[in-house]
Amino acid sequence: MSIFRLTFRQPLHALLCGVFSLVVGLFVGAAQTAYAAEASGVNSSGLNGVFDAGWTTAYQSQDSITHMHQRLHALGMDEVVLQYAAVEATHLYYPSQLDFLQNTQYKNNQLFPKSIEAAKAAGTKIWLGLYYNGDNWYLPPTDAQLDTLSARNVRVLNELYEFYGSESVVAGVYIPQEVARYYWDGLRDDAMVESLVEHFLKPVTEAAKAKGWKVMVAPFYNQNLESPEKLQSFFERLFAAGFKPDVVAVQDGVGASDAGKPHAETATVGNYERAVAKACSKYGVEFWVDMELFRTDDSHALADRARLSAQLDTSRAAGAVKIVGYDLAVLGNAGLDSLEKWNLKSTVESPTLSVPSFKNRLGTFRECSNRDCSLFFEKTSRKTSKFYRLNGARVFLDRQ
């Protein structure tokens, strides 16, 4: 789910200007509030977990983070994905000694250890995000850039294993760099899926699995750009080229927008989710949905109950084994209050399939990452016919 991912889809430095005041508002009093498992109306929210990008929790005490995990657990949200271990030059969420992370501006390096302790107390599971270099791939990276990104992720992975490899609450790792089909088609002649796999995804995944850790990715897509069939083909090409994660948690895109236009319509998002589910089923990859909890209006507020319920039903119907929400900064205490009162439950049964049977039975039938700069391909009278939107403006790409 990735650094410019929420409707926080602004440069990180812009986000940071207001994040500390947001922190106080969202979590004030959490450390002093006694945890009550018997809170009225508490039942399963229908969500299995949540992403934590650290924008709020990085500033919280151990008691506050533990309290938050306890509330999540009481709602059945036991999968907590810590989105980043490190964000190039800006954030560091664990006590790293790696040379290329020592000039980080904000060293909130206790988030990982505090979250692991909270998970032990609450009964939640932790996914450890890896290294994100701040590059959103609006143009596909070269093989050399991918090699550097891969090497740094593996170094972070190795250090994380030294610190937390014996912790039973760690379920695996999360690769925070987003993977989207339009990065790789037509923008550069050498921008091939195989290059992405061989120079980045495969070496990082294999390094994690060699340590016994599972691997999760949370790709996004945009309905303005791709058909469900093309999206399915992209994932099948990734898997066929040797990328074998344990979990693909595709972002549903319902909260994200570009110039006020949603990236995904609730009414049709299931078509795209089913397409990714088919690709995952074919290659034995567990299919999850990364469900966007925030409103499309850039308010950074929790969406209404009706929309969230529709997203839940859609994801379950598409075959999602688990659904994780994005993200904890949207929830805070007030958002969790809402989930407790709403008692959200999907009307669709959750699959309870192992990976092999999941593969056999689903064959018949989703970064902060800045998707505001989504690519829009269309014919123009100019020499350059492809462009992307950057803060509402068209930026044309020369194809020499």
Q: What is the pLDDT of residue 377?
A: 27
Residue 23: in which H helix or E strand, if any? helix 12-27
Q: Is the peptide bond before 135 cis (omega within 30 degrees of 0)?
A: no
Domain boundaries, given as residue ranges, for the chain: 12-373
Cα separation of the two ends of the chain: 33
Other beta carbons within 10 Å of 159: 18
337: nearest Cα among 13, 37, 71, 131: 71
- The answer to whether the beta carbons of residues 130 and 367 sit under 8 Å apart is no
- E strand or H helix that includes residue 317: helix 305-318
Ranges of residues in the chain with a pLDDT under 50 are: 1-4, 6-45, 352-400
CATH topology of domain 12-373: TIM Barrel (3.20.20)
What pLDDT does 264 receive?
85
Half-sphere exposure of 317 (CA within 13 A, CB side): 15
pLDDT at 332: 83
What's the rounded Cα separation, in Å, for the pair 398 and 395? 10
